[in-house]
Amino acid sequence: MRPGSQATDGDIVRAVLAGDRERYAQLVERYRDRYARYATRMLGSVDAAEDAVQDAFVRAYDQLAQCKEPDKFVGWFFLILRNRCFAERRRNRTSASLEAANDVAAVDRADGGAETAERRRALQLALLELTADQREVFVLKHVEGLSYGEIAERLSTSIPSLKMRMHRAYDKLREQLRDHT
């Protein structure tokens, strides 16, 4: 690492693997909030998302030696978090729906605007009715603001398959939110 420059992800991963365990805190600090919103929207609950992000970082630490390209730690970590979110959704679908509405309602009370609040709450609940695959594409595109190309690269899939998932999601959302549009 050059003096005065910020350590790259690769520098930190290599240092941790060499025994400097505390350096791992830098990676956690660097990426925990970047994926906090993704996990929250995927799981519909801030508490569940916090547990998922924490578990994903612990799992990534355990498997760090398998991170073949240390400079691409963040992409590798995202896939671990993604698997954790999908597993959590399979386990805990119903309770997430109820919490989701409450979490969103809490945010909206602070924002003000009853119509916006109701719209957000309805969309949040409708999102939980999508399949995990459909929901993920929706979250990455419309919440995280990624393009189809960026999503395809991150998930190692094709743009036409992403579009197919998204377009089915649009149809389902429209059906569920008929009274809110």
Partner 1 sequence: MSGHELHPLVKQLLDGEITRADLPAELRAEGEAALRLLAGVDRTDVSMPAVTWRVMAKLERRRRRFLPWLLAPALAIAAALVIWLVPRTPAPASLVTVRFVLVAPDAKQVSLAGTFNQWDPQATPLVRAGATGVWTATLTLPAGQHQYAFVVDGARWVPDPGAPAIDDGFGRRNSVLTL
Q: Which residues bind partner 1 (CB under 8 A)?
A: 20-26, 28-29, 32-33, 36-37, 40-41, 46, 49-50, 53-54, 57-58, 61, 104, 107, 116, 119-120, 122-124, 141-143, 145, 148, 163, 166-167, 170-171, 173-175, 177, 180-181
Q: Which is nearer to partner 1, 24 or 89 (CB)?
A: 24
* Measured distance CA(52)–CA(34) in Å, rounded: 14
DSSP output for 99-168: HHHHHHHHHHHHH--HHHHHHHHHHHHHHTTS-HHHHHHHIIIIIS---HHHHHHHHT--HHHHHHHHHH
Q: Which is nearer to partner 1, 21 or 72 (CB)?
A: 21
Q: How far is the CB of 92 from partner 1 (least distance, A)?
A: 19
Amino acid at 131: T
| Residue with tokens 């420059």, as numbered in its chain | 5
Q: Which is nearer to partner 1, 61 or 87 (CB)?
A: 61
Q: How far is the CB of 150 from partner 1 (least distance, A)?
A: 13
Q: How far is the CB of 90 from partner 1 (least distance, A)?
A: 22
Q: How far is the CB of 116 from partner 1 (least distance, A)?
A: 8
Q: Which is nearer to partner 1, 28 or 74 (CB)?
A: 28
Q: How far is the CB of 38 from partner 1 (least distance, A)?
A: 9
Exposure string over 93-117, b if 16+ CB within 10 A, otherwise e:
eeebbebbbebbeeebeeeeeeeeb
3-state secondary structure (DSSP) of residue 91: helix
